[in-house]
């Protein structure tokens, strides 16, 4: 909804969303795109109207995601705790909200380090409110080094990112190269 609302799903673009979880019930619900109406009450009414269809008859207490939104989604079971994930694509934005809370510190670090290897340069990783990237040194260095590949290595000047939004694009650039406001953006 957010992508569509921001005009980032024009028919000429190949906009796709990979939705993953370990829980197959949760994935099945995403696959169907049908939700009890009380689960979507926090969604602003105009978004609901634009991107969901209201059920009728015995489905009157449900909403269904509109097919054009559903068409953007690929649903896949991924266990974040496994050593490899069946993902080859790169992403412009990753949302990993409130999933790290299930892991101990070592696993959180391992998962975060793997997560930062997936965004495109300049991509964004959103974490949950209570989650932090504290101690993510190795992953950030690797992300920075990937951007440097093919160029003489120099140490990336990295400002500590704000905890809830790690802007990967700023990692491989020096302070001079960084655009004003880089690393300072917050989700709307
Ligand atoms: C608290 S919910 C957060 C859901 C959603 N991201 C949000 O912010 O509303 C945590 C989700 O993490 C999933 N989860 C737990 N352990 C996981 C794992 N090892 N791999 C992938 N997902 C996991 C749970 O099934 C659950 O759907």
State the 10-residue block means of pLDDT for the chain, 188 residues long: 87 92 96 96 94 96 95 96 93 92 92 90 87 63 49 37 41 34 36
Write down the pLDDT at residue 149.
52
**Whole-angstrom Cα distance, residue 156 to residue 144?**
7
Ligand 1 pocket residues where CB is under 6 Å: 21-23, 26, 78-81, 97-99, 102, 128
Write down the pLDDT at residue 140.
54
| Ligand 1 centroid – CA 99 distance (Å) | 4
| Ligand 1 centroid – CA 102 distance (Å) | 8
Write down the pLDDT at residue 132.
76
- 3 state SS of 64: strand
In this structure, the chain runs to a length of 188
**Whole-angstrom Cα distance, residue 24 to residue 52?**
23
User: Which atom of ligand 1 is nearest the CA belonging to 79?
Assistant: 20
User: Which atom of ligand 1 is nearest the CA belonging to 81?
Assistant: 19
| Ligand 1 centroid – CA 80 distance (Å) | 9
| Single pTM value for the model | 0.73
| Substitution candidate for ligand 1 out of 17, 19, 20, 21 with most atoms within 8 A of CB | 21
**Whole-angstrom Cα distance, residue 63 to residue 172?**
43
Nearest CA to ligand 1 atom 23: 22
Write down the pLDDT at residue 11.
85
C-alpha distance from residue 87 to each of 20, 30, 109, 129, 178 (Å): 11, 19, 19, 25, 30
User: Which atom of ligand 1 is nearest the CA belonging to 128?
Assistant: 8
**Whole-angstrom Cα distance, residue 99 to residue 85?**
15
In 10 A of CB 96, how many CB atoms?
16
Element (H, E) at 124: strand 119-127
Write down the pLDDT at residue 130.
79
Write down the pLDDT at residue 96.
93
Q: How many CA atoms lie within 13 A of 97 on its CB side?
A: 8
With b for 16 or more beta-carbon neighbours within 10 A and e for fewer, the 46-57 pattern comes to eebeebbbebee
């Amino acid at each position: 909804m957010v992508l569509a609302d921001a005009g980032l799903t024009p028919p000429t673009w190949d906009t796709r969303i990979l939705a993953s979880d370990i829980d197959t019930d949760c994935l099945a619900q995403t696959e169907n795109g049908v939700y009890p109406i009380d689960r979507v009450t926090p969604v602003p009414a105009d978004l609901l109207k634009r991107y969901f269809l209201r059920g009728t008859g015995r489905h009157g207490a449900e909403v269904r995601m509109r097919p054009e939104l559903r068409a953007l989604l690929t649903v896949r079971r991924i266990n974040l705790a496994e050593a490899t994930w069946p993902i080859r694509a790169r992403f412009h934005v990753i949302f990993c909200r409130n999933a790290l809370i299930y892991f101990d510190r070592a696993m959180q670090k391992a998962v975060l380090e793997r997560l930062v290897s997936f965004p495109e340069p300049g991509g964004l990783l959103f974490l949950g409110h209570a989650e932090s990237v504290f101690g993510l040194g190795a992953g950030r260095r690797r992300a920075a080094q990937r951007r440097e590949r093919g160029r003489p290595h120099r140490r990336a000047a990295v400002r500590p990112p704000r905890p809830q939004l790690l802007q990967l694009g700023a990692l491989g650039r020096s302070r001079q190269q960084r655009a004003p406001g880089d690393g300072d953006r917050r989700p709307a």
